[in-house]
Amino acid sequence: PSAQVLQFGGSFPWEDDPNRTTVACPDPANPVVFELRRSLS
């Protein structure tokens, strides 16, 4: 869902940069946090 928000022009109000967000994987056995960035090209 987070990738689709960025894909269709949305943003996250709690992020400083409207073109990126940080997302955590919900798998408790393999915790991963990653950053999604919208491509402006």
Q: Where are the domains of the chain?
A: 2-37
pLDDT tens digits, one per residue of 1-41: 899 999 999 999 999 999 999 999 999 999 999 999 998 87
pLDDT for res 35: 96
- Report yes or no: 23 and 5 within 8 Å, Cβ to Cβ: no
Q: Where are the alpha helices (DSSP H) in 1-41?
A: 2-7
The pTM of this model reads: 0.74
Alpha helices in 1-40 (DSSP H): 2-7
Quick one: which of 2, 7, 4 has its CA closest to 22?
A: 2
